[in-house]
C-alpha cells in the first residue's frame, strides 16, 4: 500500500466516522455552519454526495471509478483496492477538509 501522510488518515477517519467538516455533520452538531453543499444550495452535503455525485469533485472521482465504474459503495468500502481509491480521492479532492484549512503535514522526525 502507498504511504499516506497524516492528512489522508485524518480525512479517511472523517469519511468513516461521519464526524467532520461537511454539511451532514454540521446539520447535527454545528448549527452555525451551513449544511448545504457549495455545488447547490438545495443539497445537503453528505458523505455519499461528496464521494459519489458532487460535481465539484468530478475530476478526482476517477480514482473511485477505476475500481468501480458504477461507484458501487460496497465494492469501494469493502475491498483493499476500494480503500486505496478512496484515500487517493480524499487526498486529491480535499473534500473533507474545512474550506480554509491548512493541510496537515506528517513529520516522521
pLDDT above 80: residue 8: no
Question: Residue 64 — very low, low, confident or very high, per pLDDT cuts 50/70/90?
Answer: very high
Q: What is the pLDDT of residue 101?
A: 57
Q: What is the pLDDT of residue 106?
A: 44
Q: What is the pLDDT of residue 4?
A: 47
- Looking at the chain, which runs of residues are DSSP E strands? 36-37, 40-44
Q: What is the pLDDT of residue 98?
A: 74
Q: How far apart are CA 84 and CA 104, in angstroms?
A: 19
Domain boundaries, the chain: 6-93
3-state SS assignment for residue 90: helix
- Cell numbers for 36: 448545504
pLDDT cut 90: percent of the chain above it: 50
Give yes or no for a contact between 101 and 14, defined as CB atoms under 8 angstroms apart: no
Q: What is the DSSP letter of 53?
A: T
Q: For residue 16, how many C-alpha atoms fall within 13 Å in the half-sphere facing its CB?
A: 11
The residue ranking higher by pLDDT, 22 or 109, is: 22
Q: Which tens digits make up the pLDDT trace of 29-51?
A: 989 988 999 999 999 999 999 99
Q: Which tens digits make up the pLDDT trace of 76-87?
A: 999 999 999 999
The residue ranking higher by pLDDT, 1 or 101, is: 101
pTM score > 0.85 for this model?
Answer: no
Amino acid at each position: 500500500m502507498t504511504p499516506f501522510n497524516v492528512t489522508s488518515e485524518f480525512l479517511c477517519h472523517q469519511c468513516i466516522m461521519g464526524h467532520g467538516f461537511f454539511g451532514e455533520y454540521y446539520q447535527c452538531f454545528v448549527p452555525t455552519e451551513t449544511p448545504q453543499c457549495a455545488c447547490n444550495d438545495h443539497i445537503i452535503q453528505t458523505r455519499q454526495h461528496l464521494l459519489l455525485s458532487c460535481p465539484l469533485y468530478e475530476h478526482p472521482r476517477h480514482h473511485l471509478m477505476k475500481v468501480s465504474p458504477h461507484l458501487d459503495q460496497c465494492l469501494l468500502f469493502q475491498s483493499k483496492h476500494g480503500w486505496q481509491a478512496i484515500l487517493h480521492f480524499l487526498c486529491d479532492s480535499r473534500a473533507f477538509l474545512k474550506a480554509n484549512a491548512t493541510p496537515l503535514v506528517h513529520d516522521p522526525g
